């Protein structure tokens, strides 16, 4: 009889609620572990890169500016160049330069197609960086 009373006592005290405290503890520990290990996973691999000799960069190199006027005249730093000779001329200029950078100034009245054709010739000549030069709008009074 004693054991049956004990069973009824324990059966009546059973709680059907989930104890959330251990679950929260486990989740917080996992969160901390992932926060610590995540930066370690994204690190790169150490590699010995090859060392090569290269020519020194000439600091005195002036920037090239290619200008297209309203009459479709093409100028490289004030020297007029025919469109047919543009690619060859640019290849010769950039053969001795490390920085293949060119700035393009074009008149706003030019046809878009002509400017694109000139840009295509510039790209064919091997120019890596092509910058477009614009003017700031004048303040309205």
We report the CATH number of the domain holding residue 73 as 3.30.420.270
Range of the domain at 88: 64-132
Question: Residue range 57-72: average pLDDT?
Answer: 70
Residue 116 sits at the vertex; the CA angle it makes with 110 and 122, to the nearest 5 degrees, is: 115
The distance from CA 137 to its chain's CA centroid, rounded to whole angstroms, is 28
Digit-coded pLDDT (tens) for 8-42: 655 666 667 778 888 899 999 999 998 888 776 65
Q: At what angle do helices 112-124 and 86-95 cross, to 10 degrees?
A: 40
Domains: count for the chain: 2
Task: Decide if 53 is inside a domain.
Answer: no
Half-sphere exposure of 66 (CA within 13 A, CB side): 25
Reading the block at residue 100, the tokens are 């293949």
Task: Decide if 141 is inside a domain.
Answer: no
User: Is this structure's pTM higher than 0.75?
Assistant: no
């Amino acid at each position: 009889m004693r054991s049956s009373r004990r069973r009824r006592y324990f059966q009546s005290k059973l709680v059907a609620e989930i104890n959330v405290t251990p679950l929260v503890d486990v989740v917080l520990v996992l969160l901390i572990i992932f926060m610590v290990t995540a930066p370690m996973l994204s690190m790169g691999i150490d590699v010995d890169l090859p060392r090569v000799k290269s020519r020194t960069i000439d600091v005195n190199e002036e920037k090239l500016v290619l200008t297209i006027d309203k009459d479709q005249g093409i100028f490289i730093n004030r020297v007029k160049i025919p469109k047919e000779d543009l690619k060859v001329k640019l290849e010769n200029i950039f053969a001795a330069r490390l920085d293949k950078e060119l700035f393009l100034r074009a008149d706003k009245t030019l046809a878009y197609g002509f400017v694109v054709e000139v840009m295509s010739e510039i790209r064919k000549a091997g120019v890596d960086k092509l910058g477009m030069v614009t003017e700031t709008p004048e303040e309205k009074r």
